[in-house]
Structure 1
Amino acid sequence: MAGNISAAEYKERIERLKQLMAEQELDACLVYGDEYRKENLRYVSNYWPLFERGATLVRKHGDPIVIAAPEGELMCREMTAWDDIRLLPQFTCVTVPDEIEYPQANYTSLKVIMDELRAQGPLRRIGISGIDAMSAPLLKSIKDSLEGADWIDAGDLLFRLRMTKTEAEVECLRTAARIADAGYRRMIENVKPGMTELELSAFAYGECMKQGAESVPFIVMASGERVRTIIGRPTSKVIEDGDMIMTAIAVQFEGYVATVGFPFVAGTMSDEQRAFIDLLVEAEDIALSKLKPGALQRELVQAVKGYFADRNVTRYDLYPPLHGCGLAEAESPYPDENSAASFEIGMTVNTDISLFGHPHGSNRVEESLVVTADGYESMSALVRTLSANWKKTGTVSVG
């Protein structure tokens, strides 16, 4: 295993999880994940299953046990921070109900694993992180492996651990944001009437992978009348002169996801479109002025919503203007106008300043940021450039 997140940091994460387990009197904690809900599993083990399921069983003493399935065993050994890997038949392919035969698989069973842990000490209360992501049959087989135990939903423990980031995690997000910037820049430089949305998005996909993206979880894209879809996927629709482009790129690097988005227009921009983009740029400036350690998160939300109310566009303001980012594109915190929490140094967040259904367009500004002692650091140099150039020239210029 190599990369920004060291083996020592994974050990430290497990120790912090054990502290939270002790507070809730948990004797063990099973952290589940798969290709689609990878975040918590990757946080504790660096394992990201492909097709299959995975888990990490954290016990009171000793290193964790990583649970995988046969087809991905070697990939698991290549990725994971831990040496003890067990294969279970219940963890094979997520997407099919069939029982798949792997005649060379060296399977164990959940009962064998639980008996091994019980030999080390009582197993009365066991936490599960990822109950919401696993199938009912899998959850039943897990619970049936240890009679008499209380199984506790422990998802909140992982969300608490992931709320603030280490410098190594922030560095992963910085890299993801830099790659996303490169892909977004390519779209702005190459957009022209007559191409399809799929052709435009291909500039971003190709550039992001060339720049070292581990994955591009999504490219949101819509043009013209389609911008009302809020989170539309790129289609074969032909982009016409004067079409507003609503797009955002999410880039994953070593598990960490940063997102970038800024409105632009193919061909000729109207005065009405220009005024609409002004609203979003000014609203983001207001949001950034409220982003600092110790500040109440609700004050940022209230400031943006107050600005939109003053401009009579509240009916187009559909959700809060900021959310967390990290191992998921959107994660805690996700504050609203009543949130009691404060920003803390090391939190990483995305602005999501958006208006949808407005007569002159629908769009958003997205930018990945980290809360610092001095306020915040933008991890997207491109959004800062686009915003500054917009205020100077009224054009979406990457130079």
Structure 2
Amino acid sequence: MFENKKTYLNDEAKGKKLKNPVTADVHQRARAYRLQRVRDKLIENQCAAALLYDPVNIRYATDASNMQIWTAHNASRYAMVFAEGPVIIWEFHNCAHLCEHLETVDEVRNAINWAYFGAGPRVTEKAKEWAGEIVALLKQHGGGNMRLAVDKMEPEGVPFLEAHGVKLVQGQMVLEQARAIKSEDELELMKWTIRVCEHGMQRMHDELQPGMTENELWAYLHFENIRHGGEWIETRLLASGPRTNPWMQESSDRVMQEGEIIAFDTDMIGPYGYCADISRAWTVGHVPPTAEQRRLYSAAYEQIQHNMDILKAGMSFKEFVDKGWSIPDEFYKNRYCCVAHGIGMADEYPAIAHAGNDWERAGYDGMFEEGMTICVESCIAVEGGQEGIKLEEQVLITKNGCVPLSSFKWEKDWLS
């Protein structure tokens, strides 16, 4: 088993913490922009308000953050954003103080937890109490409009709202559409997260050596993220050697061997709640790649670059797919799940399906707009082959094309 005898905090050459360039004004302007985006989309969809349980949506609309992962699967806090009225958050027990600094929040109340974990056999009783409060607020601030956008909710609550004449609307659509276009201030927050992520990637690159486990290498990205104020990592998509084909195998205690491919997908929710979603591939020990490794990497790099070259504002999703890099038959079975997807505080609308059967089965059209941030994807692996390559780049859509938001190097000397 590999033993890393270096202690990172004592390594002055690598232990320097990055200096955060983001000012409080940038952060405050980003909050104001995001809240207004939500309100504009509510008006566009003729909704009086949005009821939000998804912690990422709550964060986007208000910047309120509290136990994000835990509350994603425990419905113990929620928020209500009125199109033309207040923003109210129902916080977890004794957590009202967490919103005191937020100008985006008008009122904090104690949450009524009517999910089974919190209410047990009292679900019906607590759900009725909860619905009564929501309905009363709609009547007070909704101007007679009872259309309520809801992103996610336990099913027991639906009939209690509908019994009072509430018309439920797909709230995830409203929020995803709001989140799709980034302001300049949002981009500053995202760029900082990406810089932190690349710092962690460089640490992984520098520490990588034969005899390490995948988990030991992956831990360096977590470390750099957390110490720079980041929050969590959505997946554990790091694999080496035969575990790179097929893709989607999460990091393990497998000991990496010299010369094998190691590939990863950061999926990192960093400072301010923004996501850095970047993939790269190296050889363990940074030894020269084999001819087959070069061939796979060259194909993945070509797919990324071709699709980035054609991507621009005003292009439809379907046009992008039709003009996109054509995946050779030998790699098609192990293609990635999408050609590209939106990115912001997490993976977001849109998800762009591959051409052919994928498009017919799950594709949908739309338009790339200026200010969208997109991740361009590639996974190249021969069915039954020994290894695969996973690459991904995060870009900003402009009227003239797309601009990479990441500056982390490619292995250009591998290109055949």
TM-score by length of 2: 0.79
Pick which of 178-187 and 7-16 moved more. Answer: 7-16
Q: C-alpha displacement at 1:113, in angstroms?
A: 5.0
Pick which of 40-49 and 20-29 moved more. Answer: 20-29
Quick one: distance in 2 between partners of 1:54 and 1:266?
44
Report what 1:104 is aligned to: none
The reply to whether residue 363 of structure 1 matches residue 382 of structure 2 is no
Structure 1 residues 87 and 123, CA gap change in structure 2 (3 angstroms): farther
Quick one: distance in 1 between partners of 2:374 and 2:226?
23
Quick one: distance in 1 between partners of 2:27 and 2:336?
40
The reply to whether residue 254 of structure 1 matches residue 272 of structure 2 is yes
In the alignment, residue 171 of structure 2 is paired with which amino acid? A
The reply to whether residue 136 of structure 1 matches residue 152 of structure 2 is no
Report what 1:284 is aligned to: 304
Quick one: distance in 2 between partners of 1:250 and 1:32?
22
Report what 1:45 is aligned to: 62
Q: C-alpha displacement at 1:7, in angstroms?
A: 4.3
The reply to whether residue 315 of structure 1 matches residue 333 of structure 2 is yes
Quick one: distance in 1 between partners of 2:98 and 2:180?
28
Q: How does 1:16-165 map to 2 (within 5 A)?
A: 16-33=37-54, 38-50=55-67, 51-52=70-71, 53-78=76-101, 81-90=104-113, 98=120, 110-120=131-141, 123-131=144-152, 134-139=153-158, 143=161, 147-165=164-182
In the alignment, residue 395 of structure 2 is paired with which amino acid? L
CA distances 1:214-246 after superposition (whole Å, capped 9, x unpaired): 333334111122113522221111111222112
Quick one: distance in 2 between partners of 1:273 and 1:85?
55
Structure 1 residues 42 and 223, CA gap change in structure 2 (3 angstroms): same
Q: C-alpha displacement at 1:41, in angstroms?
A: 1.5
Q: C-alpha displacement at 1:316, in angstroms?
A: 2.8
Q: Percent identity at matched positions?
A: 21
Residue 168 of structure 1, aligned match among 185, 189, 209: 185
Q: C-alpha displacement at 1:199, in angstroms?
A: 1.1
Report what 1:342 is aligned to: 367
In the alignment of these two chains, the number of paired residues is 369
Task: Supply the RMSD in Å over aligned alpha carbons.
Answer: 2.9
Report what 2:20 is aligned to: none
Quick one: distance in 1 between partners of 2:201 and 2:149?
39
Report what 1:225 is aligned to: 242
Q: Determine helix, strand or coil for the equivalent of 2:53.
A: strand
Quick one: distance in 2 between partners of 1:17 and 1:204?
32
Q: C-alpha displacement at 1:304, in angstroms?
A: 4.1
Structure 1 residues 95 and 77, CA gap change in structure 2 (3 angstroms): farther
Structure 2 gap segments, 5+ residues each: 1-22, 123-128
8 Å Cα contact 1:368/1:378 also seen in 2: yes
8 Å Cα contact 1:46/1:80 also seen in 2: no
Q: C-alpha displacement at 1:319, in angstroms?
A: 2.8
In the alignment, residue 279 of structure 1 is paired with which amino acid? A
Q: C-alpha displacement at 1:63, in angstroms?
A: 2.1
Quick one: distance in 1 between partners of 2:48 and 2:396?
35
CA distances 1:184-209 after superposition (whole Å, capped 9, x unpaired): 11212221111111111122222233
Report what 2:343 is aligned to: 325
Structure 1 residues 281 and 20, CA gap change in structure 2 (3 angstroms): closer
Structure 1 residues 71 and 295, CA gap change in structure 2 (3 angstroms): same
Q: Determine helix, strand or coil for the equivalent of 2:168.
A: strand
Pick which of 11-20 and 164-173 moved more. Answer: 11-20
Structure 1 residues 316 and 120, CA gap change in structure 2 (3 angstroms): closer
8 Å Cα contact 1:323/1:351 also seen in 2: yes
The reply to whether residue 210 of structure 1 matches residue 236 of structure 2 is no
The reply to whether residue 180 of structure 1 matches residue 197 of structure 2 is yes
Structure 1 gap segments, 5+ residues each: 101-107
Q: C-alpha displacement at 1:313, in angstroms?
A: 2.7
Quick one: distance in 2 between partners of 1:15 and 1:41?
14
8 Å Cα contact 2:373/2:394 also seen in 1: yes
Structure 1 residues 242 and 80, CA gap change in structure 2 (3 angstroms): farther
CA distances 1:241-279 after superposition (whole Å, capped 9, x unpaired): 222112121222211101121111114432211111111
Structure 1 residues 111 and 303, CA gap change in structure 2 (3 angstroms): same
In the alignment, residue 88 of structure 2 is paired with which amino acid? I
